[in-house]
Structure 1
Amino acid sequence: MRRIMPAMHALHVIQRYYPYTGGSELYFQEIGEALVREGHRVTVLTTDAWDLDHFWAAGRRTLPPGETQHNGVRIVRFPVVRAPGPPLVYPLLRRMMVELGRLPGSTALLRRLALLTPRVPGLVHYLATTREHYDLVHTTNITLDFTIIPALRFAQRRGIPHLCTPFVHLGEPGSHAIVRYYAQPHQLDLLRRAARVIVQTGREGDFLAARGVPRERLRLVGCWVRPDQLAGGDGARFRREQGIAGPIVLSIGVAAYDKGTPHTIEAMQRLWQAGCDATLVLIASNTMAQFEAWYAGLPDATRQRIRLLRSAPHQVKLDALAAADVFALPSRTDSFGIVYLEAWCYALPVIGAWAGGVPDVIRDGEDGFLVRFGDVEALAERLALLLGDPQRARAMGRRGRQRVLEHFTFEQRYARMRQVYREVGFGAP
């Protein structure tokens, strides 16, 4: 006879959440909704940010603060408060923290500096005063530590487990340009104090273990997709609505330098100059201000060969996947890259960068290609190869799809996540 466990209450703390559906946001949305289907309660504490750069710059898109509910998950959204001054205040503070982190004994100071800007005082107040019972706290995005620090303190006061999914961006091999913002002394200290640290690739786990995060607390879960929820794309409809007849190179994600968006455009410019008739489609959940300024300065002839679709509906994204011939996201800031799995669901060959956790996801030459971040020439060559050899491109895409079905479905990966929750006493038999 199956034993019925009492419902428990999980607190998820994430900097952005539904209706924004980036990688980490969708990741936590699906975990929370699965727990609700099991009969548990889930509360999400988040901010009013839609655009990522709302955390350091005024005039970006936001969502109304307050309490709502979606698919059984309670969502409490708090306003972001920034320090006065220009947007440069945030990156300058973070750069100063990186330099201070070189000094011994700087952890406590860095922890205080991390809470200067941005601040989310409503979230801090809630955690300091709420009488609600919670059985577990799960935080994420270690570089946005201003919400993780108060959440850890809350878990310690309550004597409940704290899990963290840091999504560490390792950046390019041999370069600390990116990873130094994800591995500052106070951030590593947060992870060392967590009951479990959930990583997406072996590379991420090895990196953290080498920096003192106990390996016995590291758990490799990885990312996933739901092939059934990605079905139904209509490529003909997308081509008709966008007025595209020839091949399509597709990129999905934040439009930003670190995601390789300008490099993708520059590679396409080389192909267009050589007579290629492909169209570049950029589906951008968020366009960073720096990219917007760069994009506005492109020649009209270039922008006419690009379809930049901001915050496109889910169905448009599916239609674009069905219409595309190649998927390209040569990013240096992906701890995994769920979008590669989504592209593989449509049997598309993919191009990523030798950076972050992506080399653990894409098998270079088998289901996609990897290029050095920022290597426009190599990127153009790989794009030309795939566009010029549709048979090889389809074979690579089919291998990727098979791998998704065998290893990266929600059911397979959520089972790993659920086991981590059980290890710390959440819903354990």
Structure 2
Amino acid sequence: MSRVVQVYDRVIDPARFEGGAAEVIWRQCLEAAKDFEVRLITGNVAPAVEAEYATGIFYMDSVLMIRLKGYIPSGPPPLNRRVLVPDLTRVLDEALKEAPDCVVHAHFMITPMVVQSLLIAKKHDAPCIFQPHYHPPHIYPEEERTLRLAYMRHLFPTELEMADAVVAVNSMELEILHREHRVPREKLHHIPNGVDLEELERRLNEKEVLSKYGLKPEAPIVVQVGRLSKRKNPLDAARAFARVARKLPQAVLVYVGRPGNQYEEVRDFLRREGLLDRVLFTGFVPNEERNAWLALADVVLALSRWEAFGISVAQALALETPVICTKAGGMVDFVRHGENGFLVDVGDVETASIHLEALLNDLEEAKAMGKRGRELILSQFTWRHMGERLRKLYRRLLK
């Protein structure tokens, strides 16, 4: 059986997924394992939660996990959010010697593991895939943006050139890689992420969730899911909500996710607006509760500065909840403006608030939009669809 080796610098722990690259990579491994022997090489550190896991080699489901000792370098972001894994060269070299019929699939920008992986693959004449999980530099603070721009000038072009195939999660990323970074069309492959419909059905009782937080069943509920970080832009969600809150005095805004670097700014804004008592911050919750919030919401907001895919938005649509989101990354691929939700420019709080007020004032139309959203997600954006596209690419490269 042909082998696929996936490489990622951070630890992958399915018990702690909150969307993001780690979950995508794990889903890719599970889908690839339907036709291939799969190995997943990672570091043992999770910088976001400052956790360190035991190293070792073990099976998780049908995937052979190889978790190596990793080190977080000192320095400013993004350097201190990546992981150095010295043993990668030896382990990947051994994996390719054992199985000549092998594809290497390396993930993420600004990580030394990508260059290591591509070099070792070339040494063994093994086909290699680079999946950047692209985020444009302009969405980051100035001190981090400088380092990212330096990386994109000096190292990113080499990675793109060395790879036999480059995977883009969304159509905007595909165009950026082609037009700005001159990656040939024939090397680019658009493979969007997906949702797990069975997992979404495993959710807490919605009435019990409302009761837990003291919310009334008749209250219109607006939800944002994800870390309260500047990239997720929860402040604009608060601003949009504030514009309609006076007209809809029963409406509440719920943030489902960990505090991030915009958390205090959001609270300060809501305090000044006198709305803090109408906003709920749940913090991190298990997937079963997150799914309940996505299902019971009347509208889901995602006014992010960029989303590689926007999995919580796709999950909301799969649960028949309409969305209002920005034209920034993957969400433009499955949000049809005026059909299953609304698209607005980044920072256009006024237009977002107009759409929010319209949906909250016409919940029947909102539900109809949600139903159309579910139909689209089921037809094109599940993990099964992603897996079929990915396995097709692996087979093509191995030929």
CA deviations on 1:212-263 (whole Å, 9 max, x unpaired) are 2121111122122232331243322221222211121112223211112121
Match of 1:236 in 2: 207
SS at match of 2:98: coil
The amino acid that maps onto 1:133 is E
Distance 1:411 1:184 in 2: 36
SS at match of 1:364: coil
The equivalences for 1:239-318 within 5 A come to: 239-245=210-216, 246-284=219-257, 286-288=258-260, 290-295=261-266, 297=268, 302-318=275-291
The amino acid that maps onto 1:66 is T
Distance 1:204 1:394 in 2: 31
Structure 2: state its 5+ residue gaps.
none
Which of 70-79 and 9-18 deviates more? 70-79
Check conservation: 1:170, 1:357, Cα contact below 8 A: no
CA deviations on 1:334-356 (whole Å, 9 max, x unpaired) are 12222222111111111111222
Match of 1:62 in 2: 51
Structure 1: state its 5+ residue gaps.
1-6, 53-59, 94-115
| Alpha-carbon RMSD | 3.0
Distance 2:306 2:367 in 1: 27
The amino acid that maps onto 1:186 is L
Match of 2:122 in 1: 156
Distance 1:367 1:224 in 2: 17
Check conservation: 1:139, 1:164, Cα contact below 8 A: yes
Distance 1:244 1:69 in 2: 43
Distance 1:117 1:228 in 2: 32
Taking only the aligned residue pairs, the percentage that are identical comes to 24
Check conservation: 1:235, 1:324, Cα contact below 8 A: no
Check conservation: 2:234, 2:266, Cα contact below 8 A: no
1:74 aligns with 2:74: no
1:43 aligns with 2:12: no
Check conservation: 2:9, 2:111, Cα contact below 8 A: no
The amino acid that maps onto 1:162 is C
Match of 1:103 in 2: none
SS at match of 2:65: strand
Distance 1:275 1:196 in 2: 50
CA deviations on 1:250-283 (whole Å, 9 max, x unpaired) are 1222321111212112322333344432222222
Could you tell me which of 133, 142, 149 is aligned with 2:98? 133
Match of 2:21 in 1: 24
Match of 1:122 in 2: 86
Distance 2:207 2:5 in 1: 43
Match of 1:8 in 2: 2
How does the TM-score come out when normalised to structure 2? 0.85
Match of 1:105 in 2: none
Check conservation: 2:43, 2:83, Cα contact below 8 A: no
Which of 341-350 and 120-129 deviates more? 120-129
SS at match of 1:282: strand
Match of 2:326 in 1: 353
Distance 1:66 1:311 in 2: 26
Aligned length: 381
The equivalences for 1:317-356 within 5 A come to: 317-356=290-329
Deviation at 1:138, TM superposition (A): 0.6
Deviation at 1:139, TM superposition (A): 1.4
Distance 2:123 2:185 in 1: 25
Check conservation: 2:130, 2:165, Cα contact below 8 A: yes
Match of 2:160 in 1: 191
Deviation at 1:189, TM superposition (A): 2.3
How does the TM-score come out when normalised to structure 1? 0.79
